Amino acid sequence: MNWRSAAACRSEDPELFFPLGEDGLSRRQIEEARAVCRRCPVMGACGAWAVRNGERDGVWGGMTAAERRTLRRGRVTGSGL
């Protein structure tokens, strides 16, 4: 995972990327994490790694765990997501 050395979140509080849920008050935290991801030069590599490795928690590559699960399901079923 050599892309991690360029990660924008290296200078952020790691807690920001691990909300307790994905709705309610956690939505704001997720959007703050996504804002960091959007300016991250390795967003694609990070997201791909998290999907490929089945990372179950947190925001990776601008995606929540639920979004990654949806993406994985699409790949498995061949829907093209």
Least gap, CB of 77 to ligand SF4 (angstroms):
26
Instruction: Indicate the length of the chain as a whole number.
Output: 81
13 or 78, CB closer to ligand SF4? 13
Task: Give dist(CA 8, CA 61) in Å, integer.
Answer: 11
Looking at residue 36, what DSSP letter applies? H
Nearer Cβ to ligand SF4, position 10 or 75?
10
| Nearest distance, CB of residue 19 and ligand SF4, angstroms | 13
Residues near 50 by beta carbon (within 8 Å), at least 6 away in sequence: 60, 61, 63, 68
Nearer to ligand SF4, 30 or 40 (CB): 40
Cβ pair 46, 7 in contact under 8 A: yes
Q: What are the residues binding ligand SF4 (CB under 6 A)? A: 7-9, 17, 36-37, 40, 42-43, 46, 59-62
